[in-house]
Structure 1
Amino acid sequence: MTGTARDRAWALALTSVGSFMVILDMLVVATALSAIQRDFHASLADLEWTVTAYSLSFAALLMTASVLGDRFGRRRIFAIGLALFGFASAACARAPSIGWLIVERIIQGTGAAVIMPMALALLNAAFPPQRRGWAIGVYGGVTGLGALLGPIIGGAVTEGLSWQWIFWLNVPIAAVAIPLVLTRLPESRGAARRADLPGLLVFSAGVLALVWGLVRGGDAGWGSGEVVGTLVAGLLLVAVFVGWQRRTTAPMIPLRLFRSRAFSAGNVAIFFLNASMSGAVFLTAQFQQIALGHGPLNAALRLLPWGVAPFLIAPLAGSLAARVGARRLAVTGLLLQGAGMGWTGLASHPGVGYATLVVPISLSGIGFAAAIPILTRSAVSDVDLSDVGTASGVYSTFRQLGGAFGVAVLGALFAGFGGYDSAAVFSDGYTAAMLAAAAAALIGATVSVGLPTTVRRLVPPAERDASSTSELLSAGRGADPG
Structure 2
Amino acid sequence: MFNKASGGMIAIALSNAMLFSGLTGVSIALPVISDDFSLDSSALHWVSIGAFLPMASFSIVAGRLGDAAGRRLFFLIGLSLFGLASFVCAVSPHAGILITGRFLQGFGCALAVPLSFSNLTVIYPPRRHGWAFGVVAAITTLSGMVIPFLLSFIIDRLGWRFTFALYSPLVIVLVLLVIWTIPESKGKDYRRFDAAGCIILAVGLFLLVVACERWADWGLGNRRVIILLLVGCLTIAAFCRHEWRAEFPLLDFRALKQASVVVSLVLLAHIQCTSLVIAFNLPIFLQKVERLGTYASSAALAAGSIGTVLFASFAGRMADHGKARRIISLGMAAGVAAILLLGYGLLARQYLVILLGMIIFGLCPALIYAPATAIVVSRLGAARRGISTALTVESRQLGSTVGFASCQALIAGAEWLRRRRLLGVSRGKSTTLDQDLYGTNLPSLNIAGHSRRAVERTVDSSFTLGFSVILLLLSIAILCLLPLVFRALKPKEPPEHSE
Same fold (TM over 0.5): yes
**Aligned twin of 2:171:** 174
Contact 1:62 1:117 in 2 (8 A): yes
The 1-side partners of 2:174 and 2:303 are apart by 32
For the residue of structure 2 that corresponds to 1:449, the secondary structure is helix
Q: CA deviation at 1:126?
A: 4.9
**Aligned twin of 1:246:** 244
Match of 1:415 among 409, 412, 415: 412
For the residue of structure 2 that corresponds to 1:370, the secondary structure is helix
Deviates further, 130-139 or 184-193: 130-139
Q: CA deviation at 1:108?
A: 0.7
**Aligned twin of 2:201:** 203
Deviates further, 359-368 or 123-132: 123-132
**Aligned twin of 2:398:** 401
1:299 aligns with 2:297: yes
1:99 aligns with 2:96: yes
The 2-side partners of 1:182 and 1:386 are apart by 23
Q: CA deviation at 1:215?
A: 0.8
Gap change, CA 1:464 and 1:426, over 3 Å in 2:
farther
Q: TM-score, normalised by structure 1?
A: 0.84
Write the deviation string for residues 414-469 of structure 1: whole angstroms up to 9, x where unpaired.
32233516355234223323332332243233234223353434857xx765xxxx
Match of 1:214 among 208, 212, 215: 212
Contact 1:331 1:445 in 2 (8 A): no
The 2-side partners of 1:384 and 1:182 are apart by 26
Highest CA radius of gyration, 1 or 2?
2
Q: CA deviation at 1:328?
A: 5.2
Gap change, CA 1:169 and 1:319, over 3 Å in 2:
closer
The 1-side partners of 2:131 and 2:380 are apart by 24
Gap change, CA 1:311 and 1:10, over 3 Å in 2:
closer
Contact 2:67 2:387 in 1 (8 A): no
The 1-side partners of 2:311 and 2:10 are apart by 25
Contact 1:378 1:455 in 2 (8 A): no
**Aligned twin of 1:43:** 40
The 2-side partners of 1:263 and 1:183 are apart by 34
Gap change, CA 1:160 and 1:267, over 3 Å in 2:
same
The gaps in structure 2 that reach 5 residues or longer are 416-433, 443-455
Write the deviation string for residues 128-165 of structure 1: whole angstroms up to 9, x where unpaired.
78998886665444323243334333322222221111
Deviates further, 236-245 or 59-68: 59-68
**Aligned twin of 1:446:** 480
Q: CA deviation at 1:10?
A: 5.3
Deviates further, 224-233 or 325-334: 325-334
**Aligned twin of 1:480:** none
**Aligned twin of 1:456:** 492
The 1-side partners of 2:228 and 2:373 are apart by 32
Contact 1:338 1:437 in 2 (8 A): no
Q: CA deviation at 1:40?
A: 1.2
Contact 1:380 1:388 in 2 (8 A): yes
**Aligned twin of 2:460:** 426
Deviates further, 31-40 or 131-140: 131-140
For the residue of structure 1 that corresponds to 2:484, the secondary structure is coil
The gaps in structure 1 that reach 5 residues or longer are 466-482
Amino acid at match of 2:105: Q
1:277 aligns with 2:313: no
Q: CA deviation at 1:205?
A: 1.0
The 2-side partners of 1:295 and 1:107 are apart by 30
The number of aligned residues is 458
The 1-side partners of 2:63 and 2:321 are apart by 36
Let me know the Cα RMSD of the aligned residues.
3.1
Q: CA deviation at 1:320?
A: 7.0
Deviates further, 102-111 or 440-449: 440-449
Gap change, CA 1:361 and 1:458, over 3 Å in 2:
farther
Contact 1:265 1:448 in 2 (8 A): no
**Aligned twin of 2:314:** 316
**Aligned twin of 2:259:** 261
Gap change, CA 1:399 and 1:243, over 3 Å in 2:
same
Match of 1:194 among 187, 192, 195: 192
The 2-side partners of 1:322 and 1:133 are apart by 5
Identity among equivalent pairs (%): 26
Write the deviation string for residues 225-259 of structure 1: whole angstroms up to 9, x where unpaired.
22111111111111111111111122222112222
Write the deviation string for residues 362-419 of structure 1: whole angstroms up to 9, x where unpaired.
3333334333344334434444554454233212101111022343123223322335
Contact 1:345 1:431 in 2 (8 A): no
Q: CA deviation at 1:13?
A: 4.5
Gap change, CA 1:121 and 1:369, over 3 Å in 2:
closer
**Aligned twin of 2:357:** 360
Deviates further, 203-212 or 20-29: 20-29
The 1-side partners of 2:134 and 2:335 are apart by 25
For the residue of structure 2 that corresponds to 1:112, the secondary structure is helix
**Aligned twin of 1:55:** 52
Q: TM-score, normalised by structure 2?
A: 0.82
Write the deviation string for residues 195-234 of structure 1: whole angstroms up to 9, x where unpaired.
2211111111111111101111122233222211111111
For the residue of structure 2 that corresponds to 1:194, the secondary structure is coil
Contact 1:266 1:376 in 2 (8 A): yes
**Aligned twin of 1:371:** 368
Match of 1:154 among 151, 169, 175: 151
Amino acid at match of 2:266: V
**Aligned twin of 2:110:** 113
Contact 2:197 2:239 in 1 (8 A): yes
Contact 1:344 1:357 in 2 (8 A): yes
**Aligned twin of 2:79:** 82
Write the deviation string for residues 327-368 of structure 1: whole angstroms up to 9, x where unpaired.
455345334323432332243258x23223233333333334
Write the deviation string for residues 166-198 of structure 1: whole angstroms up to 9, x where unpaired.
110111112344456557765443334322211
Amino acid at match of 1:454: K
Q: CA deviation at 1:312?
A: 1.4
Contact 1:309 1:362 in 2 (8 A): yes
